[in-house]
């Protein structure tokens, strides 16, 4: 597979301008999910939204374009009804969008999503930086971004909270295990970003109207090679339950022994 060009078509003061791709997902708005008496989740009245993590990614991409010049292309994979999400994404600042749509694209697992994104990006738009949210607001597997980087054969940095681009490299400040790691990657590259990266803007009426005039490239399933079989299967989704027995223990020796025995009985202590 031929990798897309790393350099954008325009230059500013001799520095290649950025062709940024930001990936986003149209997900269920959890505020509309209801729990039934049996513990199942009722999705019959749900609405949808752009994943919260992806809103931060979109904002980071737009700010980087404003700082360095270039363009931002928003890319998503989903069923036809996710077109509302495309317009919402465009109202947040990207210059154009690419929408891979098919009724079967509503239930893809991360490996399938990354494969479709990789094919679409390879064939439809040049890039030198891809930005993804750290995970999606529904599944939150945190796999799609790294899998996409692997598909495209480019370096990847995850959990990024600050980005700078200079002289053909991206410097990514990562939040890892309680400390900060700073990585330098050659372009083209992919980063997944934390919500700390940027606070999303709220689109105004003018932004929403302008979004309708921006270009949207639609890609059908027939334009892609076969989508690989899923590697993950969701068997069920149930509401979390918290059971409290409210047993009280004092600091007396006998109560401490009783407390330890209770933990052992529940398998907390071996």
Helix (H) or strand (E) holding 220, with range, is strand 215-220
Q: How far apart are CA 114 and CA 145, in angstroms?
A: 7
pLDDT tens readout for residues 64-120: 999 989 999 999 999 999 999 999 999 999 999 999 999 999 889 999 999 999 999
What are the angstrom distances between the C-alpha of 269 and each of 31, 79, 142, 255?
37, 47, 31, 16
Delimit the domains of the chain by residue range: 11-223
Segment 110-136 mean pLDDT: 93
For residue 189, give both structure tokens. Answer: 């590259």
User: Superfamily for 11-223?
Assistant: HUPs (3.40.50.620)
Res 13 pLDDT > 70: no
- Cα end-to-end span (Å), the chain: 52
pTM of the full structure: 0.81
Predicted confidence at residue 38, as pLDDT, reads 75
Predicted confidence at residue 232, as pLDDT, reads 83
pLDDT tens readout for residues 158-197: 999 999 998 889 999 998 888 899 999 999 999 999 999 9
Structural contact between residues 75 and 97, judged by C-beta atoms closer than 8 angstroms: yes
Predicted confidence at residue 139, as pLDDT, reads 80
pLDDT tens readout for residues 19-50: 999 999 998 887 788 887 777 788 778 888 99
């Amino acid at each position: 597979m031929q990798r897309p060009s790393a350099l954008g078509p325009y230059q500013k003061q001799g520095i290649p301008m950025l062709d940024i791709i930001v990936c986003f997902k149209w997900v269920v708005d959890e505020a509309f999910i209801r729990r039934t008496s049996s513990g199942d989740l009722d999705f019959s009245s749900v609405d949808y939204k752009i994943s919260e993590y992806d809103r931060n990614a979109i904002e980071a991409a737009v700010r980087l374009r404003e700082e360095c010049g270039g363009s931002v292309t928003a890319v998503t994979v989903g069923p036809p009804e996710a077109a509302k999400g495309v317009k919402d994404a465009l109202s947040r600042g990207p210059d154009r969008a690419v929408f891979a749509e098919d009724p079967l694209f509503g239930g893809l697992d991360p490996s399938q999503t990354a494969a479709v994104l990789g094919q679409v990006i390879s064939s439809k738009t040049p890039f030198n930086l891809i930005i993804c949210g750290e995970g999606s607001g529904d599944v939150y597997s945190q796999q799609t971004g790294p899998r996409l980087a692997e598909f495209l054969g480019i370096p990847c940095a995850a959990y990024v909270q600050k980005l700078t681009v200079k002289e053909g490299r991206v410097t990514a400040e990562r939040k890892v295990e309680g400390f900060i790691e700073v990585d330098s990657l050659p372009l083209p590259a992919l980063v997944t970003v934390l919500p700390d990266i940027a606070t999303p803007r709220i689109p105004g009426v003018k932004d929403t109207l302008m979004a309708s005039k921006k270009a949207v490239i639609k890609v059908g399933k027939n334009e892609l090679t076969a989508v690989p079989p899923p590697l993950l299967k969701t068997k069920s989704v149930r509401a979390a339950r918290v059971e409290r027995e409210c047993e009280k223990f004092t600091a007396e020796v006998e109560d401490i022994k009783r407390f330890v025995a209770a933990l052992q009985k529940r398998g907390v202590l071996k």
